[in-house]
Chains A and B, each alone.
Chain A
Amino acid sequence: MDEEKQVSRRGFLSRTIWAIGGLITAGFGIPAIAYIIGPALQRDAAQNLIRLGAASKVELGIPTLFKVTVQRKTGWIVNEEELSIYVRTDDGRNFTAMSNVCTHLGCRVRWVADRKEFFCPCHNGVFDKDGNVISGPPPRPLNRYEVKVENGQLSIVGG
C-alpha cells in the first residue's frame, strides 16, 4: 500500500469488508476441507493381536491355512470379515504368516501341495512357499504378518 496516499474512509471500509469476508470464507472453507478429506486420511490404525490358533497345527514345511473372523469398522458400520492366513514353519519355532490375497488384483491364492506352490486361479500367478513370486503377473511377494507365539498359541499383528 502506498503510504503517501491517504486512505479514504470509503477505501478503508471497503477493505475491511473484504477482509471480514475473507475470514468468514476461510472459517468455512478450512473446516469444510478437513471434513471432506478426513476419513480418507485415516489409516487402519487397529494394530490388534489376532489369535489364529495352536502352533502345533502347523506341519513342518507345509503352509497351513488359518481362518479367523475379525471385526472391521468402516464409517459407522461394523462388519465381520474373514481373514485367511497361511502359516509356515521349518523348525516349529520360527513362523511365517502370509496373507492369501494375491498381490496382483486381490484374488485368493491356494497352496497346491503336490507342486509346493501357491497358485492364483485368476491370472495364473504362482508364488513359492515363502510367498515370493515365481511366475505370472503379481508385482510383489504375498503380504507378511508379524507372528507372535505365546504358550503354543499363534497370533498375528495387524488388522
Chain B
Amino acid sequence: MTRVANWLDERLAWRRVWEAIFLRRVPKVNWFYTLGSATLFVALNQIVTGILLTIYYVPTPDHAYDSVQYITTEVPAGWLIRGLHHWGASALIVLVVLHMLRVILGGAYKYPREITWMTGVVLLIVSLGFGFTGYLLPWDQKAYWATTVGTRIAGTAPVIGDSMLRILRGGEDLTAVTLARFFGVHVWILPVALLTLIGIHLYLVIRIGISAVPKRKE
C-alpha cells in the first residue's frame, strides 16, 4: 500500500497536491466558513443523482412525465435518487445564498479575492439557471405552468423581450422543442459552466487562502 503510494508519488507528486488542497493553513474562523464546502457537497450530490436520473428520464412530451413516474414508483431506490435531486436543488440555492451573505458580511470579496467573488456571482446565476431549467423537466402541470409564467416574465423585458421569450421557448409556444432545449441546457451547457467555474473558484480559494474573520480595528 505504502509502496504503491510512494511509487505513484514519485511520478505524480500527489502528496504535494493533497497537502495543498487539504492540509492548508487556515485562520481561526467560525462555522459560517463551512457554507462553501456545504454548497460543494450538495453540488456533488446534484451531479451524482442527476447523472443517475438521465439513465431513465426521457425529455419528450410523450415520455417525460411517465418516465419520471417510472423512476419514482418502479425503479429500486428511484424515489431516493429523485428525492435527493429534488431536495438537493432547493438546498443548493439556500446554501449558495447563505454562502454569499457570509462573503458579503465578512468583506471577503475584497482584494485579492475579486475574481473568486466574480466567479461566485456567475456560479449563483448558473445555479438559478439549473433551477429554472430543471423545474420544467418532470413535465407535470406545475412544471408546465411555472415555465409558461417564467418565460413570459422574460418576455416583458423592453425591446428584446419578445425575442428572449421566443429563444427560451424555441418558438412561440411551450412545446417539445422547449422541453428538449431545457434538458440540453440542464445536462450539458450548465454543467460544463458549473464545473469550469468551480474549478477556477476552488483554485483561487486554495491559492490565495480563505479570509480571516474581520477584526474590530480593521
Q: What is the interface of chain A, defined by CB distance below 8 A to chain B? A: 28, 31-32, 34-36, 38-39, 75-77
Q: Could you name 25 residue pairs across A and B whose Cβ atoms are closer than 8 Å?
A: A28-B48, A31-B76, A31-B77, A31-B80, A31-B81, A32-B48, A32-B52, A32-B77, A32-B81, A34-B77, A35-B55, A35-B76, A35-B77, A35-B78, A38-B75, A38-B76, A38-B77, A39-B75, A75-B56, A75-B67, A75-B70, A76-B66, A76-B67, A76-B69, A76-B74
- Any A CB within 8 A of the CB of B142: no
In addition to A76-B70, A76-B74, 15 A-B residue pairs with Cβ atoms within 8 Å of each other are A28-B48, A31-B81, A32-B77, A34-B77, A35-B55, A35-B76, A35-B78, A38-B78, A39-B74, A75-B67, A75-B70, A76-B66, A76-B67, A76-B69, A77-B63
Question: How far is A111 from B76 in the complex, measured between Cα atoms in Å?
Answer: 44
Tell me the nearest residue of chain A to B45, going by C-beta: A28
Question: How far is A34 from B74 in the complex, measured between Cα atoms in Å?
Answer: 12
Minimum C-beta distance from B215 to chain A (A): 28
Contacts of A34 in B (CB 8 A): 76-77
Question: How far is A59 from B78 in the complex, measured between Cα atoms in Å?
Answer: 51
Range class of the B interface residue count: 10 to 19
Contacts of A32 in B (CB 8 A): 48, 52, 77, 81
Max chain A C-beta neighbours (<10 A), residue from B63, B66, B75: B75
Question: How far is A32 from B53 in the complex, measured between Cα atoms in Å?
Answer: 10
Minimum C-beta distance from A41 to chain B (A): 8
